Amino acid sequence: MAELFTGQARETPDADLAAAVGDVLGIVLPPPCVPGVAANVRLLEDHLAVLDA
């Protein structure tokens, strides 16, 4: 399972990020959510990097 918000999201496939988000929430994300959720995880990770800079 991919680790979320550890600076690796840009190198992690969409499906793995979505699976990791689903794992946190205790669900399997519906397929239409996968690309959008992955993109948003990467965006949030970018913001976290700015905050931590």
Partner 1 sequence: MISGAAAIAREVRAGRLRAVALAQQALDRIAAATDLLAITRTLADRAMREAAEVDAKVARGEDPGPLAGVPYAVKDLFDVAGLATTAGAARLECADPAGADAEAIVRLHAAGAVLVGTCNMDEFAYGFVTDNARWGITRNPHDRARFAGGSSGGSAAAVAAGLVAFALGSDTNGSIRVPASLCGVFGIRPTQGALPTTGTFPFVHSFDTIGAFARSAQDLALVDGVLRGDAQSGPCDFAPALLGGWFAQDLTAEMAAALAEFAQAIGPLPTVEIEGVAQARSAAFLITAYEGGRLHAPALRTDALSYDPATRDRLLAGAALPDRVHDRAMAFRAVFAARVQALLDRHGVLIAPAVAGPAPLIADPVVRVGGRDVPARANLGLYAQPVSFVGVPVVAAPLAVPGLPLGIQLIGAKGSDRALIAYAARLEAQGLLRVTPP
Residue ranges that bind partner 1, judged by CB under 8 A? 4-5, 20-21, 24-27, 29-30, 32-33, 36-37, 39-41, 43-44, 47-48, 50-53
- For residues 3 and 45, the answer to whether their CB atoms sit within 8 Å is no
Q: How far is the CB of 45 from partner 1 (least distance, A)?
A: 10
Q: How far is the CB of 4 from partner 1 (least distance, A)?
A: 6
Q: What's 7's DSSP letter?
A: S
Q: How many Å apart are CA 31 and CA 35, to the nearest integer?
A: 8
Q: How far is the CB of 30 from partner 1 (least distance, A)?
A: 6
Q: How many Å apart are CA 30 and CA 17, to the nearest integer?
A: 13
